[in-house]
Amino acid sequence: MAFIKSISGFRGTIGGKAGENLTPQDIVECTAAYGSWLLQTGAAPKVVIGRDARPSGAMVTQLVTATLQSLGISVVDLGLSTTPTVEMAVPHLHAGGGIILTASHNPKEWNALKLLNATGEFISGEDGKTLLALLDQGAVNYAAVDDLGTYVQNDDLLDYHIEKVIAHPLVKADEIREKGFKVVVDAVNSSGALAIPALLKALGCEVEVLNAEMNGQFAHNPEPLPQHLTELCEKVKSSKADLGIAVDPDVDRLALVGPGGTWIGEEYTLVAVADYVLQHQAGPTVSNLSSSRALRDITNKHGQTYYAAAVGEVNVVNKMKEVQAVIGGEGNGGIIDPQLHLGRDALIGTALVLSNMVWADKSINELRATYTDYFMVKDKVALSPDLDVEKKLEHIQEKYKDEATINTIDGLKLDFPEGWIHLRRSNTEPIVRIYGEANSVEAVNALVARVKADF
């Protein structure tokens, strides 16, 4: 059981003791701190909320809603929704902020409060520190009875989101409709079953949905990794589909499967999208330090500049703003298109992948064959009371300082000639993540094993 408070929000397991898990008491206290912070900023006293389909979602929604109302903040509840839909709804509805109730790829016993500012972006590091200080102080000033916030439900925002995706200047909607692609979707029994088929049908695709019951009883580990998506790969092959799509529970990550059940993966989602965008718009690209070198390669191929950011959506967004990137995201399948909104979005990712397929007149397998081959391993080490992470990273840095280029903006990245290793404490789980990449499976496994042995 766990409870993680960070500058990006609050995440934990449901049940157990207050202060050690995400209990009703903790949900109320965290929401009250967020509401107090929002009111202090002078933003509109209105918050948009939405949730994925996990079993605790309705209960958490009620607690969050009542707490915000008690502060004099009105609530617009999108109900079952997606993270990018809530992000787009905040500025569209002129709200002061937003809260997405989702633990993303974590198992069903987890839930979280992901916090947005008035632009529909994740709150900054500085704002997060202010919010955590308010939480520690516990000094909340609740509204008088005549000043309580209102509550409304709004289920129109997914339609708005889809309309904006289809109207995007780089989405080849008519050409996609002419192709009539057959697409299989693994919706992992969450909000993807609501959002992705609706988008695909609007684009004229024939759609088959796996795990479409929106009950949060995830049919498999909800992180869209190859070992969890064997059913999708098999269905794409047996149905002779043109594309397979897997999303996480809140629909901000996108993994791809090609004809014949060929695993394209989440790392190459951003590469395929960037390849297409850069043929139509000149400008930089951005991904985080744990993302594939393949984005750098495709960016260089198009004569543009690649930049790396610290892990975390807010860090990628900040770097994108700084360099005026035309496309960016994270190698976990998170596509951030600034022409739509500055947040990871599997819907725009899906539409741009299909647009690349019709523009190039190639299958996703054929497109993948044009990109550099890299192989990635995503491993981890569980945190324990006797593990001093910072001291361990300092030791590893010293050990490899003469063999690798060192980057310490986010944990420790070791860039060897044959590949790289990135070590960092997770913001969402009690673990140290160990990501590695190289030009062969053997090389990356050797790199990861070598560095992991130092723990």
Q: Alpha-carbon distance 355 to 346, whole Å?
A: 14
3-state helix, strand, coil in the chain (%, to 5): 40, 25, 35
pLDDT at residue 8 is higher than 80: no
- Domains belonging to the chain, first-starting first, are 3-159 (3.40.120.10), 181-262 (3.40.120.10), 266-372 (3.40.120.10), 375-452 (3.30.310.50)
pLDDT at residue 223 is higher than 80: yes
Continuous H helices in 173-218: 173-179, 192-202
Continuous H helices in 370-413: 389-400
Q: What is the pLDDT of residue 71?
A: 98
Tokens 């995007």 -> residue: 168
Q: Alpha-carbon distance 328 to 319, whole Å?
A: 9
Tokens 């004099």 -> residue: 72
According to DSSP, the residues that pair with 109 across neighbouring strands are none
- The dihedral built from the CA positions of residue 367, 373, 377 and 378, taken in this order, carries a sign that is negative
What digits encode the pLDDT tens for the residues 375-432?
999 899 888 888 888 898 999 999 999 999 999 999 999 999 989 999 998 877 788 9
Q: What single-letter DSSP state applies at residue 373?
A: P
Q: DSSP secondary structure string, 26-43?
A: HHHHHHHHHHHHHHHHT-
According to DSSP, the residues that pair with 286 across neighbouring strands are 307, 328
pLDDT at residue 232 is higher than 90: yes
Max CA distance (Å), the chain = 67
SS3 347: helix
Tokens of residue 245, six digits? 């799509």
Task: Confirm if 250 and 99 have CB atoms less than 8 A apart.
Answer: no
Which of 70, 81, 104, 291 is the catalytic position? 104
- The mean per-residue pLDDT over the stretch 328-339 comes to 96
363 is catalytic: no
Lowest mean pLDDT among 29-33, 211-215, 431-435: 431-435
Task: Confirm if 268 and 291 have CB atoms less than 8 A apart.
Answer: no
Question: How high is the mean pLDDT of the chain?
Answer: 95
Q: Return the closest-CA partner of residue 267 out of 333, 186, 347, 353.
A: 333
pTM: 0.94
What digits encode the pLDDT tens for the residues 128-142?
999 999 999 988 999
**DSSP β-ladder status, 46-51 and 151-153:** unpaired
- The dihedral built from the CA positions of residue 287, 290, 294 and 300, taken in this order, carries a sign that is positive
pLDDT at residue 61 is higher than 70: yes
What digits encode the pLDDT tens for the residues 81-115?
999 999 999 999 999 999 999 999 999 999 999 99
pLDDT at residue 345 is higher than 90: yes
Residues contacting residue 175 through CB under 8 Å, at least 6 positions apart: 355, 358, 359
- The mean per-residue pLDDT over the stretch 64-79 comes to 98
Q: Alpha-carbon distance 155 to 160, whole Å?
A: 10
pLDDT at residue 1 is higher than 70: no
